[in-house]
Amino acid sequence: EDQVTQSPEALRLQEGESSSLNCSYTVSGLRGLFWYRQDPGKGPEFLFTLYSAGEEKEKERLKATLTKKESFLHITAPKPEDSATYLCAVRSAYSGAGSYQLTFGKGTKLSVIP
Amino acid sequence: GAVVSQHPSRVICKSGTSVKIECRSLDFQATTMFWYRQFPKQSLMLMATSNEGSKATYEQGVEKDKFLINHASLTLSTLTVTSAHPEDSSFYICSARDLAIAYEQYFGPGTRLTVT
């Protein structure tokens, strides 16, 4: 069974204070690790997909990295508008019907204080 | 690109009635759509996977006769909650897989269902 664990559950940062969110995973044959941002009362917004260890992707103040056991979402000089819950999800080689299913972690709630 | 809409965004219904939620991919074709529910401070739980033109595949513990899913076209899937009860109150979110991008799913804005 695929498992995704995100830490910390909640993180408060001062504006400009860089930090990282962690996503540890256990899957049978990783076929993609996904990062999403979710604002309260909204659906998740796609950020990144990583497929292999050593891969990195960047978007504005966010940078996602991947190893064989975990992924990090680095936030550089965050702004209040970066406040949201960040979700990590994995797709394994043995995902259910259609093999496109994602298993989600519980998320990290990020609050950036001005 | 890759925009998914849901309608309605909020719905309140009485216990015993049925509610239909629509999920549309606006600017791409989606052979596969997924339906999730999310309880407060919890992550997304997959309910079912629907493929255009075929029957949906439900996750263990999800009642297929209660949560009816229809995926009649490449841009529309519907979820009907039949004989709704207060415990069905939740945030329902759909996602769609873009044919042109193999594994990424794009999510709708969600529907808040409250059953009184």
B59-95: pLDDT as tens digits:
989 999 999 999 888 899 999 999 999 999 999 999 9
pLDDT at A96 over 70: no
pLDDT at B4 over 80: yes
Residue contact A100–B32, C-beta within 8 A: yes
User: Once rounded to an integer, what is the mean pLDDT over residues A36-52?
Assistant: 93
Residue contact B44–A97, C-beta within 8 A: no
As a whole number of angstroms, the distance between CA B113 and CA B12 comes to: 6
pLDDT in the model for residue A99? 58
Phi, psi dihedral angles at B114 (to 5 degrees):
-120, 120
How many other C-beta atoms are found inside a 10 Å radius of the C-beta of residue B91?
19
- Nearest neighbour of A42 by CB, restricted to B104, B106, B109: B109
pLDDT at A22 over 80: yes
Residue A92's pLDDT band (cuts 50, 70, 90):
confident
Question: Looking at per-residue confidence, does A105 or A93 come out higher?
Answer: A105
Residue B29's pLDDT band (cuts 50, 70, 90):
confident
- Chain B interface residues facing chain A, Cβ-Cβ under 8 Å? 2, 4, 6, 32, 34, 42-44, 46, 49, 51, 57, 59, 91, 93, 95, 97, 103-110, 112
Q: Which residue of A has its CA nearest to B35?
A: A101
- CA A46 distance to own-chain centroid: 10
User: Once rounded to an integer, what is the mean pLDDT over residues B28-50?
Assistant: 89
Place of tokens 């690109």: B1
User: Once rounded to an integer, what is the mean pLDDT over residues B88-105?
Assistant: 85
pLDDT in the model for residue A37? 97
As a whole number of angstroms, the distance between CA B19 and CA B2 comes to: 26
Residue contact A43–B46, C-beta within 8 A: no
As a whole number of angstroms, the distance between CA B10 and CA A73 comes to: 32
Residue A17's pLDDT band (cuts 50, 70, 90):
very high
pLDDT in the model for residue B72? 82
pLDDT in the model for residue A98? 52
